[in-house]
Amino acid sequence: MAIALDNLRVGRQYLLTNQGEVRKLEIIARLQGENFKVKDLETLEFYTIEELLRWGVGKDYDLDELR
């Protein structure tokens, strides 16, 4: 079961699956509401959660914390 966006914590790492893409993310900062600045742990690029979910949530959507 996916974690709700309002339960994300700064400094923690998560695995996001959506629209066939799988990304390992670290939460860098909470920006506003349910929007966060995130760092892709594989490409080291920075995104916002809004950018990653811009085209909607697919049937395969899942968000889990990495241990």
- Dist. CA 56–CA 21, nearest whole Å: 13
Q: Using DSSP, state whether 42 is helix, strand or coil.
A: coil
What are 7-54's pLDDT values in tens digits? 999 999 999 999 889 999 999 999 998 899 999 999 999 999 999 988
- Dist. CA 34–CA 41, nearest whole Å: 20
Q: How many domains in the chain?
A: 1
Q: Do you know the residue count of the chain?
A: 67
Are β-strands 13-18 and 21-32 bridged in parallel, bridged antiparallel, or unpaired? antiparallel
CATH number of residue 55's parent domain: 2.30.30
pTM: 0.89
- Dist. CA 14–CA 11, nearest whole Å: 10
Domain residues for the domain of 38 are 5-65
